Amino acid sequence: MRLTPGAGRDIDLARVDLFDLDLYSLGDPHPIWEVMRSKAPLHHQVLPDGREFWSVTRYDDVCRVLGEYQTFTSERGTVVTHLGVDDVAAGRLLTSTDPPRHTQVRRAIGARLTARAVASWQDRIRQAVVRFLEPALDGGTFDLAERAHRLPMIVAGPLLGIPERDWDELVQLTAMVTAPSDPHFLLGNEAATLAISHHELVTYITEWVARRRSGEGGDGSLLDHLMTVHAGGAPLTDEEIALDGYSLLLGANVTTPHTVSGTVLALAERPEQFAKAQANSSLVPNLVEEGLRWTSAACNFMRYAVSDTRIGGGTVPAGSAVVAWIGSANRDESRFTDPHEFDIVRGNANHHVAFGFGPHYCVGGPLARMTLRVFFEELLQRFAAIDLDGEPRHLRSYFIAGMTHLPIAVQKRRTP
What residue spans define the domains of the chain? Answer: 13-412
| Contact (Cβ atoms closer than 8 angstroms) between residue 24 and residue 294 | no
What is the pLDDT at residue 8? Answer: 55
Confidence check: pLDDT of 214 > 90: no
Number of H helices, E strands in the chain: 17, 14
Average pLDDT of the segment spanning 94-108: 93
Sequential DSSP letters for 158-217: HHHT--GGGHHHHHHHHHHHH-TTSTTT-SSSHHHHHHHHHHHHHHHHHHHHHHHHTTPP
Which of 312, 403, 368 has the alpha carbon at shortest distance from 25? 403
How far apart are alpha carbons 323 and 57 in whole angstroms? Answer: 9
| Model confidence band, residue 329 (pLDDT cutoffs 50, 70, 90) | very high
Count other C-beta atoms under 10 Å from residue 292's C-beta.
26
pLDDT: which is higher, 393 or 219: 393
What is the pLDDT at residue 10? Answer: 81
Q: Tell me the residue ranges of DSSP E strands in 269-372.
A: 300-305, 309-311, 314-316, 321-325
Average pLDDT, the chain: 92
| Contact (Cβ atoms closer than 8 angstroms) between residue 168 and residue 147 | no
How far apart are alpha carbons 139 and 383 in whole angstroms? Answer: 11
| Model confidence band, residue 4 (pLDDT cutoffs 50, 70, 90) | confident
| Model confidence band, residue 173 (pLDDT cutoffs 50, 70, 90) | very high
Instruction: Fold for 13-412, please state it.
Output: Cytochrome p450 (1.10.630)
Average pLDDT of the segment spanning 116-125: 92
| Contact (Cβ atoms closer than 8 angstroms) between residue 400 and residue 297 | yes
Q: How far is the CA of 20 from the CAs of 41, 47, 83, 183, 254, in angstroms? A: 19, 10, 14, 15, 21
Please give the model's pTM, rounded to 2 decimal places: 0.95
What is the pLDDT at residue 6? Answer: 63
Confidence check: pLDDT of 362 > 70: yes
Residues 365-384 have pLDDT tens digits of 999 999 999 999 999 999 99
What is the pLDDT at residue 285? Answer: 95
What is the pLDDT at residue 82? Answer: 84
What is the pLDDT at residue 7? Answer: 57
| Model confidence band, residue 252 (pLDDT cutoffs 50, 70, 90) | confident
Judged by average pLDDT, the poorest of 224-228, 287-291, 328-332 is: 224-228
